[in-house]
Amino acid sequence: MRAYVLKCLAATLLMAAIVALPAPGVLAQSQEGDRVKGDIAGTVGLGLLGAELGLFLPPAFKLQDQWWAWVLFPAIGAAGGALAGVFAFEPRDPEPAVTVSILGASMLLAVPAVVGASAFASARRDQDLERVQNGGLLRFGKQGTRVGAPSITTASVFSPAEQARFGFPQRSSTRVALVSGQF
């Protein structure tokens, strides 16, 4: 899973680098009527980049199950990016090739950011589930051998189809994990 996410990230960064390179025609614009006001494009682009970075913060702080974190962190990131854009591009008239490239790169990274943040949150949930399930009395792991309270689970012995077919009464089994490990 980690290799897949890294490949997607590398492909996205490569595409962003290709988009960020200005086309020869953009730099050669000399007519005053074709001039693009670059401060707005740069401000919006940095705001989008801030929101995309904010998407990765809920799983980074293990808040992937909290709805407010998915709203708050991207909003703060967007506000911070837009504020940075105002201070970075307002005092002088920036090159439109730079600011439009920032806007294009931020729009290009929108879908990979959502997918990457979702994958990161899913991986965090899987780690938490593994941690809950691997709760034996004697635990072997990367940190060494530990002793802890064993996890106790109960499960049904027969499925509903087996009960209907054979007429068995439902029974339950209790399982106590004595040894668990992670390699």
Q: How confident is the model at residue 150 (pLDDT cuts 50, 70, 90)?
A: confident
Average pLDDT of 38-50? 85
Assess whether pLDDT exceeds 80 at residue 154.
yes
pLDDT in tens, 103-116: 888 988 888 888 88
Sheet arrangement for strand 144-147: 144-147, 138-141, 179-181
Average pLDDT of 132-145? 71
Report the share of the chain in percent with pLDDT over 90: 9
Residue 126, CB half-sphere, CA atoms under 13 Å: how many?
8
Q: Would you call 56 helix, strand, or coil by DSSP?
A: coil
| Among 51-55, 77-81, 144-148, the least confident range | 144-148
Rounded CA-CA distance 140/183 in Å is: 8
Q: How confident is the model at residue 73 (pLDDT cuts 50, 70, 90)?
A: very high
Rounded to the nearest 10 degrees, the angle between the axes of helix 110-133 and helix 2-20 is 160
Rounded CA-CA distance 105/84 in Å is: 17
Which pTM was predicted? Answer: 0.52
Backbone angles phi, psi at 16, to 5 degrees: -65, -40
What's the whole-number average pLDDT of the chain?
A: 76
pLDDT of 103: 87
Which of 13-17, 67-71, 122-126, 175-179 is most confident? 67-71
The alpha carbon torsion through 16, 112, 57, 125 (nearest 10 deg) reads -150
